[in-house]
Amino acid sequence: MTNRKRTYAAAIVTVSFALAGCSSNGSDQSAPSASKIPAVSASASPEPLPVPTVVVDGAPTTVVTDQNEVIGRLDAPWDLEFMPDGSMLISERDTANIERVRSGFATALNGPGAEALRGMVDADGEGGLLGLALSPTDHTTLYAYISRAGDNAVVRMSLTGDLLSAPVDVVAGIPHATRHNGGRIEFGPDGYLYISTGDSSDGDLAQDPTSLAGKILRVVADGSEDDGTAPSGNPSDSIVWSLGHRNVEGFGWTGDGRMYASEFGNDSTDELNLIQPGANYGWPTVEATQGAPAGTALGDTVGGLTYPAVEWAVADASPSGIAITEDAIYIAALRGEGVWRIPLTQDGVGTPALLNLDLGRIRDVEVGPGGDLYVVTNNTDGRGEPREGDDHVYKITVS
């Protein structure tokens, strides 16, 4: 396939912050044998990682003062990754294209890797080409989370200009189903790659210490043969970092080292969780604080289960991607059709407030160069109501 170039109305939203009062692989598509899936002990509870001392004190409220289109006419975009030159890589879930956006133009990446992705990705239901992550130490190495016929997997490719090399498996054998495939990948401040997985519509797998479903994983990802192995400090020397998750599609870190992850609820309640290594977040035994012992408060750990820092009704959120600034957590809301802002405090979080952007479903929100926020709409994913020019990336300004 040759490179194609498209001009779009801007569909990415950037948010600039003026917050008064803030202190501040040729890839084998078959699933691996069970012997290749690392085991984890659900009872492991290592000490939390040390974090830097940073004063975190976010303004309690903010309002949107401006929003501008960056690009449009994207096809079910899922993740946004900024390149060092200021261009953007955007994964399209169903086409399996990775679009590179420069100055209002989008060009689909090409080469053996791009052809392989388009040939192997299974975009049935919620699966497809999902998360992207650029190596923080080598900007020519790109990782991608994909759904294939037999599994979900993280693969590694080299990026030269707009050409991708053939994908190499980094983590394979993640259970794949029509729904609940997770899919977010991000490099943490420790330099390791974190991977969110869903329960693949089988809640029991989230509690199964031998399954990679319903987990957050932490792996070496330095472009070497060690890619996909467990770093030192992981619970039980496994690649599993935390368990008991229904479907995590977003996570990020505060300036003082706290890791937060969004999670889709089932019948009643969505979650924002403070993630600790080895912790069990309860699904399907509990859903947020539904089913918790009497007197359980948000953020408590009771009977070996850790409860969320924030919860919402599923109709108000259905949370996906996360961006964290020095003062707040911003969470893309699909059914909520906006962006939730949760102010950060030195020892936790404040009261959530919905930024209603009138853009429909929001799949991802990212911090761009200079601290701007960009939001990715998701109205062409089969569950939204597409508008003219959907889907988009927008830049928004808040104060």
Q: Residue 54's pLDDT is what?
A: 55
pTM here?
A: 0.87
- CATH number, domain of 157, equals 2.120.10.30
Average pLDDT for residues 325-349, to the nearest whole number? 94
CA distance 238 to 235: 6
Is residue 327 within 8 Å of 307, Cβ to Cβ?
no
- In this prediction, residue 346 carries a pLDDT of 84
Residue with tokens 């993280």: 154
Name the nearest CA neighbour of 227 among 308, 299, 311, 137.
137
Q: What is the pLDDT of residues 57-84, one digit of tens each?
A: 667 778 888 899 999 999 999 999 999 9
Q: Is the pLDDT of residue 5 over 90?
A: no
Which three-class secondary structure state does DSSP give residue 116?
A: helix
Q: Assess whether pLDDT exceeds 50 at residue 239.
A: yes
Question: What is the pLDDT, as a whole number, of residue 62?
Answer: 82
Backbone CA torsion sign across 97, 168, 275, 260: negative
| Best CA proximity match to 71, nearest among 395, 393, 366 | 393
Residues 220 and 282 sit within 8 Å (Cβ to Cβ): no
Percentage of the chain beyond pLDDT 70 is 85
Cα 199 to Cα 90, 236, 343: the distances in Å are 25, 21, 29
For residue 29, pLDDT beyond 90: no
Q: Let me know: does 130 contact 78? Beta carbons within 8 Å.
A: yes
The most confident of 3-7, 29-33, 73-77, 253-257, by mean pLDDT: 73-77
Q: Is pLDDT above 70 for 369?
A: yes
Q: How confident is the model at residue 278 (pLDDT cuts 50, 70, 90)?
A: very high
In Å, the largest CA–CA distance within the chain is 61
Q: Strand, helix or coil at 296?
A: coil
Question: By residue range, what is the domain housing residue 97?
Answer: 5-398
Domains held by the chain: number: 1
